[in-house]
Structure 1
């Protein structure tokens, strides 16, 4: 699992207040670290408009933004928790929205790999206790350990 995680892609208690701000904040880290190309953030925004990524998981809303593999140089998973919820359209819906507090950014350089990673994260975020734990984390190290022990990829 280690190869998918980078502590620099774990952003806790972000004050990002829109999908665009979220994509710019975590996407810029992907670009700066060389994991994605310079068009990555725009790719995230464009894909979100066409194919929303909000996942209704119960009390704590989750979003799983991702974009085409052509924008990704090296596969990584990012995590962002938000101070205040941000509205995301629900996956598969034209207009329904959910309030999101946890964002998992999926950056996969291969389509098949993307499906495997997405399935694993969807399984994980269906567990309310896991989401509760995520929102209580105080340090990047704690978040890294929690992800490492729960994501079996």
Structure 2
């Protein structure tokens, strides 16, 4: 594909860095998230219990794996799996939180600072969802707290 020619389906423009590569995943996923996320505040993954609890459990699990195995790519994969398993057992399913465990293992952030920022970020996200659900025409959020 020549430089400057656009992909028909995604609108992604090819340049010297992407010439010859098919770049379709990210724009499609981004469009899916922006189109469906505002209409699904009732899903278990979106509830405050799952959002806050899932990220905190994943971070703690990531720190446990980091302490046991050290910081490596080989340790990050089990950390993500452990995070998913822990969330399923504790009934706080939030699959994007598995990335939190992977980030902890790969980046080795300071625990107190990271957990504080993570808690603030998740509380802000829940607060934004509550504010977005205030208008009468908007779907009610959260569907349940616990």
TM over 0.5: no
Larger relative strand fraction: 1
Could you tell me the TM-score, scaled by structure 2's length? 0.31
Could you tell me the TM-score, scaled by structure 1's length? 0.30
Structure having the higher Rg:
2
Larger relative helix fraction: 2
